[in-house]
Each structure stands twice: as C-alpha cells, then as structure tokens.
Chains A and B, each alone.
Chain A
Amino acid sequence: MTPPDPDLWRLFLGLGLVLLIASGTGAVLTRLYSPDGGNAVVENLTARVRAWWVMVALMAVAMVAGKAGITILFALCSFAALREFITLTDTRRADHWAVAAAFFVVMPVQFWLVWIDWIGLYSVFVPVYAFLFLPIISALHGDTDRFLIRIAELQWALMVCVFCLSHVPALLSLLIPGYEGRNVLLIAFLVIVVQTSDVMQYVWGKLLGRTRIAPQLSPSKTWEGFAGGAATATLVGAGLWWITPFTPLQAAGMALAIVLMGFFGGLVMSAIKRDRGVKDWGATIPGHGGLIDRLDSVLFSAPVFFHVTRFYWSLT
C-alpha cells in the first residue's frame, strides 16, 4: 500500500473545517430557534450535519485504505442502494431467484470486475449479461403476470444502483500520464462537487427559492436554488483543480457537467419516488432519508464523469 497522497490530507482537513463551521452554525441556530428541539428545520439540519461527519469519516478511512477501501465502500453502498430500490419494486415470488442473483451474483461480480480492472467486461456485464440472464430466470418460473414490468424494474435497479455506482471505484483504473497514484483524488473531486451542489441547492433554495422547477416531482427544487447551487459547485470544482489532472477551466467544465447530471439524476429518482408513493428511499441515514436520497446525483454523474475523463485524459 502506497502512503496516501498529501493532497488527500489537505482535502480532508478542509472538509473537517467546513463541517466544524456547519456544526457551529447548527449549534447557534439550535440555541436561537430550537432550544427545546421544537423547530423541525433546525433539527433536520443538525441531524444532517451529524450524518455528514460520519459520511466524511467513512470516505476518509476508505480513501486512506486505497483501492480496496474504496471498492469495498462503494460495493457496500451499492448493496444498500439496491436493497432500498428493489424493496419499492413489485417483484413476485417467481422473481425470487432473479432477485437473489442480483444481490449475490451480479453486484459482487460487477465490483470484482472493477477491482481487477477488466474494463471490457464491467462495461457490458450489467447492460448485456444481467439484462439477458435475469429475465431468463424469472421466465423459467412461469409467472407471466406483469412480467415485462417486473423484469424492467429489476434491470433498472441494477443499472442505477450497481452499474452506475461502480463507475466511482472504476475511476481508480484510469491511467492518466503525470497523475499516477493520485486517482483517488478524482473520486474526491466527483463526490465533493456533487454533494456541494446538493447542499448549496438546498441552502440557496431555502434563502431565495421562489420559482419551482417541477412541482409534481419535487416541491423543494427551485430555479433560484438550482442556479445558486450549480454556480457554487462549479466554482468549488474549479477551485479544486489542483487535485485533478485538469486545468482550472477544465475543472470548472467538468464540475458543471457533474452538477447538471447530478441535478437531473435527482429529478429522475424523485419521479420514481412519487410513482411509488414514498417521500424517501428509506431511513438509512438520519436526517437524509435513504442512502439513494444522498447518492441519487452521484449515480447519474459518475458514468459521465468517468467516460469524459477516460476519453480525453486516460490511456486505458
């Protein structure tokens, strides 16, 4: 194991400072507006900040542990996301073995392929092989009631929770000249930009939000929040150019692409929640809801970030 990049320490030191400020602000707000825990917004804010400490700590441990840590962390996230997603689908008894295969074969194999850098296979494993074989398993059980819906739901769950998410650890396998051994910082860049965008859209939305973007999908998403969050996250991304192989301008462009994909990812995943009649994907993370509620924008931005970086910068 190579020692962690010094930039990684600087990064987590910076994140620690940001969280300290957030916790401090939370403490002040609690004293001012919710001394007896009566203000739901303030209580939710402090719960969210507390959960952020845990998430940042987990990321730090995984990143210091290197490739193994990152791959295992995102495999676990994938498992938790898949379980939240499939819980909300309408699979039937006939799908039991297909669902079991999704959890115990497809998910582990996909992350194992990422681990051994077999890009030719992990790029097609879920979209081709899971796509073909899981419906075969369901078909063999003979129940045709809502068959197309059932197999489509399972495939969608795997694409978004396993295939898309596996592109985060896959960033480690890119071979970028002059950037050797620092790939883990690409993951940090992606995650920080996405989460800054989410958090700042929430903050700008609370401060200035008026015009709703899609009231049927998400009552809290406003154009003001989106513009403020996207601009802030793009600036933060540009400011992080020193941890990437990009120039500041390129880093801003990459950040903007990540932010846009993340935003639309959030919209799509909200539409699925409304369709299923739930407010949150689950209750895994206190204050945030389910894991997918926190990851939805990462799921959509990771593959695009991976491919753009690979196409323009990587030798592999």
Chain B
Amino acid sequence: MVGPEGGGTAAAAGTAGNVASSFGQIGTGALAGFVAQAIRLFARAVTAVRAIWAGSEPELRQRVYFANHTSNGDFVLIWTVLPDRLRAMTRPVAASDYWLKTTLRAFIGREVFNAVLIDRNPETRTEDPVEQMVRALDDGSSLILFPEGRRNMDEAPLLPFKSGLYHLARTRPRVDLVPVWIANLNRVMPKGEVVPVPLICTVTFGAALHIDPGEAKEAFLARASAALLALAPNGRPA
C-alpha cells in the first residue's frame, strides 16, 4: 500500500497540503479504508452487484482482469465484488489525466483504489504504460485493465482492443488473463446523466487465458476479445 504521508496527494494541488497533513494525522490508511468501505456500500446499494464465477474461481492467484468499459464506475464494480484478500492485491489501471485532475480524485485514485495511473497521451508521457503495469505485476499485484482503452459509447458491444494487453501478455506470459464482463452499468448511469437508476448489475469472470508462444498480436487480441464477449449474459451485451 501507499505510505502514510499521503505525499502524492499533497503534490497534486496547492491547497492539498493542509488536507493531506490532517489526513496524515488520523492516518491516511484508515481514512482510505473507510472511504473504500463507503464506496463499496454505495455501489452495492445502487446496483445490487453480483459476481458470477463462470470459468474461474476467486482464488489467491496473480491475475490481469480485463473487462469491457462503458462507464467510469466499471472498475469499482469489479473491485467491489472481489473477496477482501483478492481486492487488497488488485490495482486498477486508470488514466492519470482523469484521476489527477482534482485533489479528491487524486486521493481516491491513489489511496483508496491504489490505481496504476498511466498517461494516455504518448506526447506527454514520461513512462511507458506497459512498463508501469509490468512493474506492478512484479510487485505481486493483480491488475484491472480495460483493453478497449476508452469508454465504449457505440452500439457495438466491444471496441477493438488496444495492444497493451498483448504486450503485457508477452512480457509476463505466465500471469492469468481473466476476461470480466460487466453488465448493465451503462444503463444505471449513462454518460452525461446525474441520477443513477437502480438496475441490477452482474460481473462475470470467465476462464483464464494465456498467450501462445508463437501467437501473433492480432490473433491474440481477437481471441481475448471473443473470450470476453462470450461472457455477455443471454447474448444481450451492454
């Protein structure tokens, strides 16, 4: 976990210094834990979210969970349904431009979710996202990844995958890649709406897959994409 100083938070904005130091006094960890609990309760109250383990089990194994992406709350749902010990070792991969925008987001992104924050813009970034993810894996963490790269606003159930998942699989071929289909969250809160409607969401975990030694990028990404799409309930994606 991140250290108790909340240093990253303080760096995020000028006024953050005071906030962060008072956080520091009562323990950033404790506050983060409380906020995490509150977020999980809220997610469960609104979506009654339920995990369906269809092909893999909630075991203590290092994994890359890769999921469809239709809402900002996507990884919150995965993170909510994971059992405590799995959640503690799992870090979402998220966009730094979104999560470092305000002090509050920076606190939630770093301290609560312990996210691996990557810069989506190749022009400005100082670190390669795949290297960042590999480092997190080497630390023993599992990852939550959205290989579409951005939220899907189209009618198509899945956008073409970006190559990140492939490079990750090539670099650490022994890590389980678990497809995760999140159903209904985009109906709970469509983009641009402010009031969520309390529809029931499910998070379906499929069988783990691995890259084959000679497998080409396109073939692997197509296979991963098909494995994910196959988890959509009743052939009713979205």
The interface of chain A, by Cβ under 8 A from chain B, is 79, 83-84, 86-87, 91, 93, 96-97, 99-100, 103-104, 276-278, 282-284
Contact assessment for A86 and B234 in the assembled complex, using a CB-CB cutoff below 8 Å? no
Indicate whether B226 reaches chain A with its CB closer than 8 angstroms: no
Q: Which of B195, B200, B234 contacts A83 (CB 8 A)?
A: B200
- Report the separation of the CA atoms of residues A84 and B184 in the bound assembly, to the nearest whole angstrom: 12
Which listed residue, A79, A87, A283, touches B184 by the CB 8 Å rule? A87
- The answer to whether B48 touches A83, judged by C-beta atoms less than 8 angstroms apart, is yes
User: Among the listed A91, A276, A277, A278, which residue makes an inter-chain contact with B187, where contact means beta carbons less than 8 Å apart?
Assistant: A91
Which parts of B181-238 form the interface with A (CB within 8 Å)? Answer: 184, 187, 190, 193, 195, 197-200, 234-236
Can you list 9 residue pairs at the A/B interface with Cβ under 8 Å? Answer: A83-B198, A83-B199, A84-B200, A86-B199, A100-B195, A277-B235, A277-B236, A282-B48, A284-B48
Q: Enumerate chain B interface residues (CB-CB to A < 8 A).
A: 48, 50, 184, 187, 190, 193, 195, 197-200, 234-236
In the bound complex, how far is the Cα of B50 from the Cα of A284, in angstroms?
A: 10
In the complex, which of the residues B187, B193, B235 has the most CB atoms of chain A within 10 Å of its own CB atom? B187
**Chain A proximity of B103: nearest CB distance (Å):** 30
Indicate if the CB atoms of A99 and B197 lie closer than 8 Å: yes
- How far is A122 from B190 in the complex, measured between Cα atoms in Å? 32
Which residues of B are found within 8 Å of A99, using beta-carbon distances? 197, 199
When the two chains form the complex, which single residue of B48, B190, B235 contacts A93, counting CB atoms closer than 8 Å? B190
CA distance A282 to B202 in the complex (A): 10
Contacts of A284 in B (CB 8 A): 48
From DSSP, what is the main secondary structure of chain B's interface residues?
Answer: loop
Per a CB cutoff under 8 Å, which of B48, B193, B198, B234 touches A276? B234
Contacts of B193 in A (CB 8 A): 96
Contacts of B198 in A (CB 8 A): 79, 83, 103
State A285–B197 Cα separation when bound (angstroms).
Answer: 21
Q: Is A87 in contact with B200, judged by CB distance below 8 angstroms?
A: yes
Asked if B197 and A96 sit within 8 Å, CB to CB, the answer is: yes
Given contacts A87-B184, A104-B195, A276-B234, 20 further A-B contacts (CB under 8 A): A79-B198, A83-B48, A83-B200, A86-B197, A86-B199, A87-B199, A91-B187, A93-B190, A96-B197, A97-B195, A99-B197, A100-B197, A103-B198, A277-B234, A277-B235, A277-B236, A278-B234, A282-B200, A283-B50, A284-B48
In angstroms, Cα B45 to Cα A79, docked, is: 12
B233 CB to closest chain A CB, in angstroms? Answer: 8
Q: Note all chain B residues with C-beta closer than 8 A to A93.
A: 190
**B197 to A103, Cβ gap below 8 A?**
yes
- CA of A96 to CA of B50 in the docked complex: distance in angstroms? 22
Closest CB of chain B to A273's CB: distance in Å? Answer: 11
Enumerate the 9 nearest inter-chain pairs by beta-carbon distance, A residue then B residue, closest first: A277-B234, A87-B200, A93-B190, A87-B199, A99-B197, A100-B197, A100-B195, A83-B198, A96-B193
Instruction: Return the chain A residue nearest B191 by Cβ.
Output: A93
- Which residue of B is nearest A284, CB measured? B48
What is the CB-to-nearest-CB distance from A137 to chain B, in angstroms, rounded to a whole number? 13
**Alpha-carbon distance between A100 and B197 when the two chains are bound, in angstroms:** 5
Residues of A within 8 A of B190 (CB): 93, 96
CB neighbours (8 Å) of A103 from chain B are: 197-198
- Kindly provide the distance from the CB of A85 to the nearest chain B CB, expressed in whole angstroms: 10
The residue in chain A whose Cβ has the minimal distance to the Cβ of B192 is A93
CA distance A103 to B48 in the complex (A): 15
**Docked pose: A79 CA to B200 CA in angstroms:** 12
Residue from B184, B190, B200 whose CB has the most chain A CB atoms within 10 Å: B200
Least CB distance from A108 to B in Å reads 13
Bound CA–CA A141/B178 (angstroms): 38
Best-surrounded residue of A79, A91, A93, A97 (most CB of chain B within 10 A): A93
**Cα separation A282 to B201 with both chains bound (whole Å):** 10
